[in-house]
Amino acid sequence: MDRLSRRGLLQGAAGVAAAGALGGCAMGGDDATNGDAKGTTSANNPLGVKEDAPLEVVIFNGGFGEEYAKAHEALYRGRYPKAEIKHSATQQIAETLQPRFVAGDPPDVIDNSGGSQIDFNGLVSQGALTDLGELLDAPSLDDPGKKVRDTLLPGIVDVGSYDGKFLTVNYAYSAYGIWYSKKLFDAKGWEYPTTWDGMIALCRTIKAAGIAPWTYTGVHARYMSWPILTAAAKLGGIEVIKAIDNLEPNAWKHDAVRTAADAYYQLAVDGFLQPGAEGMDHIQSQTEWCRGHAAFISCGSWLENEQKSVTPPGFDMAVAPTPSLGTSDKLPFGAFRGTGSEPFIVPAKGKNVRGGMEYLRIMLSKKAAADFTTRVSSLTAVTGAADGLSLGPGLTSVTKLIDASQGSAFTWLYSTYYRKLERERVNAASLELFTKRITASQWCDRVQKSADEFAKDPAIKKYKRA
Amino acid sequence: MWGKRLFIAVFLIPPLLLYGIFVVSPYAQAFQISGTDWSGLSPAYEFVGLDNFRRLLGDGYFWTALKHNGLLLVLLPVATIVAGLFFASMISVGGRADRAGVHGVRGSGFYRVVYFFPQVLSVAIIGVLWKEMYAPHTGMINGFLRGIGLDGLAVAWLGDPRFSFWCVLAVLIWMNVGFYVVLFGAAMQSIPRDLYEAALLDGASRVTTLVRITVPLLWDTIQVAWVYLAIVAIDGFAIVQIITNGGPGSSSDVVGLRLYKTAFGDGQFGYASAIGVAMFFLTLTVAVMFLRATRRERVEL
């Protein structure tokens, strides 16, 4: 027989397939190298960076762009001229870097941010991140007598820690609150209310003036869960939030959470929400707000930078804490949710772990932080780094908010521990709440049910907030 | 003889190798990964047998997504093919009967080009375009509704779980129909004009002509279109991800999106692969079923 039989051909193809499967396996081999080789330490080089070791930095190219990182890299190059720095920026952090983690060849520094950040639950449970405790205890670049730990704003160490290990530096500092245009309020003679009753009364006035009192993003309705949880924490104390972070049974059904949810549900019941907001994404709703179609919006302090191109001159945006729900709130009116964002990590299997830590130490110097604030109008995790800089009206009001809070700022961690719980479950329930398809009490029940699912799921690693 | 075998092998090996590495091997690996708890972030994993598939059976979010794919599977091919056949026959043979014989409606050349436009745009552009069209205040659809005095109908389309899925379905039909107009139109060119003329002389209406002449003679093409559209319906990932991202809630979720979020959002590649394997069998079954169900005697001209 001088022709290839059909069977022979199929066998051949199967053989080729098998060879391919072996050759290019997605699940990777390993990883013999560990880049923790330490150079000699000195006062100038406390982390023991090898001077000529190349450094690879990957930046999330989102709201903050990538130019600030190039400035930081220049500072690193200034200290270690022999080190070659490889810089890249992407919006698809997870898609780009996931295969490199598997291959045991991750970059040395990653800004793990944005819509497609790599899930921290997975990274931490796989031990993929370097413990940055050593960085915290290293002397700061500005003042050798001071540890890096002591230069950070309160809350930064908490939000970057998993089971007591400090694994991420959340470089940007975001304050969350209720935003309004000071210009509009001054023109109309309105004043930001300190109590919830005052808020409802003011909303009535605003509505009568032909402006929607509130707008929000239905696509990312979790933005509206922030004032609810903030108000709940202020009413019932931080323990309420800790129970939520620890996925405790009935944490979301706590009286304080229910009262807060009910208060904000009132906005929907009384028709104080802009019609159509349920179909808007965050940019669309923020733009409606900038155009003066709505008075209040819930957001974080990146808002000013995000809306830069559409904010009318003299708009004068300002942020305020959530109004107190009762007269005996456990936390003062000035308390707000303040936390780090833009998490930077040093993968444990990077080639130059020491260099990665040193890069973060440089980022946490006042010079680098001030440069960041000037470029992207966001505060940083570094205490006092924005002193003396000329800031936009939004950011100026954020610094006032921080000063007025007198250290009563707080945050929750469930959204970093269990990202999907907030991004999918709370998000979906909040839209139902503000479109009046469910009541405040049903909202609590629904989110609690989801939280219970997470608590039971063995595939999800649990963290304990102390 | 060896020379001949070598000759054949030289031509066969490169494509087979490429096919093996880039098609067969990922499929094979998906099967392997679906039996593990791999997180996708390190080379460490454990075999968990059929646990992922057991979990799949009890996963309400997966079933909701599957239900939407099922609805797409029923509605998308039917709507697209009916619309495609209608437009194609209007363009080729739908014109007023006159001395010029059988021809398309006036301006059919123009329509032929216009219907094809969506096919030229990339899926991402179509998604972003429609997302803005549906926007509650600034969108064209509500602008149009308000313009003709139907303010009550100007709702937040994508923000309402009652409408979001149908909004996506409309976009899917819109973006696909143009291609099938061209496909059916080209196939109709091969149907002899005298058949239509004879039918006209016998007093057949346009609908009768379409059902009795065009559809039977285009059956092979329609069958292929059906399978293609079924595959689009089982996928649907890109357009859903851009327009609604599955929301609000899971009201427009599809299996492909669930898979993607499970893998890249939740870092559960093992479970995501199980979803992929389930989808693989689903697609295969559907394709085979369609081909069986639509098998007919060929009409010879």
Q: How far, in Å, CA of A90 to CA of A67, rounded?
A: 13
| Dihedral over alpha carbons B229, B234, B239, B242 (to 10 degrees) | 180
Q: What is the DSSP letter of B249?
A: T
Q: How far, in Å, CA of B225 to CA of B180, rounded?
A: 7
**Under an 8 A CB cutoff, do A98 and B41 touch?**
yes
Q: Tell me the nearest-neighbour CA distance from A8 into chain B, angstroms.
A: 12
**A29 vs B43, B45, B265: nearest CB:** B43
> What is the value of ipTM here, to two decimals?
0.77
DSSP string, A53-81: --EEEEEE-STT-SHHHHHHHHHHHHH-T
Tell me the C-alpha to C-alpha distance, in Å, between residue B30 and each of A54, A360, B38, B269, B277: 35, 38, 11, 9, 7
Mean pLDDT of A396-406: 91
Residues whose CB is less than 8 angstroms from the CB of residue B159 and which lie 6 or more positions away in sequence, other chains included: A218, A219, A276, A277, A278, A279, A280, A431, A435, B136, B248
**Which residues of chain B from 164 to 193 reach within 8 Å of chain A, CB to CB?**
none
**Under an 8 A CB cutoff, do A431 and B248 touch?**
yes
Is B108 in CB contact (< 8 Å) with chain A?
A: no
| pLDDT interval class at A176 (50, 70, 90) | very high
| pLDDT interval class at B301 (50, 70, 90) | low
Q: Residue B3 domain-assigned?
A: no
Mean pLDDT of B280-300: 76
**Under an 8 A CB cutoff, do A276 and B1 touch?**
no
Write down the pLDDT at residue A10.
43
When mean pLDDT is compared across A204-208, A429-433, B160-164, the lowest value belongs to B160-164
Is A292 in CB contact (< 8 Å) with chain B?
A: no
**Under an 8 A CB cutoff, do B136 and A275 touch?**
yes
Mean pLDDT of A419-438: 94
Number of domains in chain B: 1
Is the pLDDT confidence value at B98 over 70?
Answer: no
Write down the pLDDT at residue B99.
56
**Under an 8 A CB cutoff, do B42 and A101 touch?**
yes
Is A218 in CB contact (< 8 Å) with chain B?
A: yes
**A428 vs B13, B19, B249: nearest CB:** B249
Q: Residue B72 domain-assigned?
A: yes
Is B249 in CB contact (< 8 Å) with chain A?
A: yes
Q: Tell me the nearest-neighbour CA distance from B107 into chain A, angstroms.
A: 38
Write down the pLDDT at residue A26.
66
| CB–CB contacts below 8 A, A to B | 159
Closest CA to B98 of B250, B200, B20: B200
Q: Give me the residue spans of the domains in chain A.
A: 55-173+339-394, 175-338+411-456
Print burial letters for A291-323: b (CB count within 10 Å at least 16), e (below 16).
eebbbbbbbbbbbbbbbeeebeeebbbbbbbbb
Q: Residue B96 domain-assigned?
A: yes
Q: Residue B46 domain-assigned?
A: no
- Collect all residues of chain A within an 8 Å Cβ-Cβ radius of residue B131: 281
Q: What is the DSSP letter of B136?
A: T
pLDDT tens column, B177-191: 999 998 998 888 888
pLDDT tens column, A338-354: 998 899 999 999 999 99
When mean pLDDT is compared across A120-124, A144-148, A219-223, A265-269, the lowest value belongs to A120-124
Q: Tell me the nearest-neighbour CA distance from B246 into chain A, angstroms.
A: 10
**Under an 8 A CB cutoff, do A218 and B41 touch?**
no
Is the pLDDT confidence value at A4 over 80?
Answer: no
As a whole-number percent, the residues of chain A with pLDDT over 90 amount to 65
Strands A85-90 and A109-111, sheet pairing: unpaired
Range(s) of the domain holding residue B188: 59-293
| pLDDT interval class at B95 (50, 70, 90) | low
**Under an 8 A CB cutoff, do B265 and A104 touch?**
no
Q: Residue B104 domain-assigned?
A: yes
Mean pLDDT of B189-216: 83
Is the pLDDT confidence value at A38 over 80?
Answer: no
Q: By CA distance, what is A20's nearest residue in B?
A: B21
Write down the pLDDT at residue A460.
86
Is A201 in CB contact (< 8 Å) with chain B?
A: no
- Collect all residues of chain A within an 8 Å Cβ-Cβ radius of residue B159: 218-219, 276-280, 431, 435
User: Do A55-173+339-394 and A175-338+411-456 show the same overall fold?
Assistant: yes
First to last CA, chain A: 77
Interface test with A, best of B163, B241, B257, B266 (most A CBs within 10 A): B266
Is the pLDDT confidence value at A36 over 60?
Answer: no
Q: By CA distance, what is B251's nearest residue in A?
A: A428
When mean pLDDT is compared across A20-24, A255-259, B243-247, B293-297, the lowest value belongs to A20-24
Q: What is the CATH number of the domain that holds B135?
A: 1.10.3720.10
Mean pLDDT of B88-108: 72
Q: Residue B12 domain-assigned?
A: no
Q: Domain A55-173+339-394 maps to which CATH number in 3.30.980.20, 3.40.50.1100, 3.40.50.300, 3.40.190.10?
A: 3.40.190.10
pLDDT tens column, A63-109: 788 999 999 999 999 999 999 999 999 988 988 998 898 888 999 99
Interface test with B, best of A424, A443, A450, A461 (most B CBs within 10 A): A424
Q: Tell me the nearest-neighbour CA distance from A217 into chain B, angstroms.
A: 9
Beta strands in chain B, from DSSP E residues, in sequence order: none
Is the pLDDT confidence value at A411 over 50?
Answer: yes
**Under an 8 A CB cutoff, do A2 and B44 touch?**
no
Q: Residue B20 domain-assigned?
A: no
**B156 vs A26, A279, A424: nearest CB:** A279
| CATH number at A175-338+411-456 | 3.40.190.10
**Which residues of chain A from 420 to 449 reach within 8 Å of chain B, CB to CB?**
420, 423-424, 427-428, 431-432, 435
Write down the pLDDT at residue A168.
95
Phi, psi angles (nearest 5°) of residue A181: -95, 120
**Under an 8 A CB cutoff, do B268 and A435 touch?**
no
DSSP string, A171-206: EEEEEEEEEEEHHHHHHHT----SBHHHHHHHHHHH
- Collect all residues of chain A within an 8 Å Cβ-Cβ radius of residue B24: 13, 16-17, 20-21
Mean pLDDT of A226-247: 96
pLDDT tens column, B115-146: 888 888 899 999 999 999 998 888 899 999 99
When mean pLDDT is compared across A294-298, A315-319, B84-88, B283-287, the lowest value belongs to B283-287
| pLDDT interval class at B296 (50, 70, 90) | low
Backbone dihedral region for residue A227 (phi beyond 0: left; psi -120 to 50: alpha; all else: beta): alpha
- Collect all residues of chain A within an 8 Å Cβ-Cβ radius of residue B56: none
Interface test with A, best of B31, B42, B62, B258 (most A CBs within 10 A): B42
**Under an 8 A CB cutoff, do B247 and A431 touch?**
yes
**B42 vs A128, A276, A419: nearest CB:** A128
Two structure tokens written together for A327: 């007269």
Tell me the C-alpha to C-alpha distance, in Å, between residue A182 and each of A294, A296, A317, A391: 13, 11, 6, 16
Strands A55-60 and A85-90, sheet pairing: parallel
Q: Tell me the nearest-neighbour CA distance from A32 into chain B, angstroms.
A: 12
**Under an 8 A CB cutoff, do B158 and A19 touch?**
no
Q: Residue B250 domain-assigned?
A: yes
